[in-house]
Structure 1
Amino acid sequence: MKNNDELDQGFILSTVLNVFFMLGLIFIMRLDNLFILIPYVLIIGANAIYLVVKSMKMKDNRSN
């Protein structure tokens, strides 16, 4: 497997996607529909967890 410490394309794409998700959350909250809001927030949370785990792995690899 390839082990690189740089920001790969998946990390950049996930970061940009998370920004768009947060901007979209403003408009989704105005709908007051929990059936749309709850899955949307779960997707945002999963994306944010991916970003945190990826950045922690990069930090650990740089310190070694």
Structure 2
Amino acid sequence: MSVEKYPNNPMLGHRKIIDGKVGKYVWQTYKEVYDFVIRVGNAIRICGVEEGGNSCIYSANSQSGL
């Protein structure tokens, strides 16, 4: 519902590190995040995972040295 009500509001942010220094936040809107989630879901379906099936996404959640 939030993406319909507030598509252009900031939703997900991260800070870039430039020359070892933490920069300002860079934000993605509700609409941008929603579109990305839909694309990831479609890609998982294309790989053969059926509705109600299980899958796993493995990723690092932080960078070493920060």
TM-score, length of structure 1 as denominator length: 0.33
**1 or 2 for the larger relative contact order (CA 8 Å, sep ≥6)?**
1
The structure whose residues are more often strand, as a share, is 2
Computing the radius of gyration from Cα coordinates, the structure with the larger value is: 2
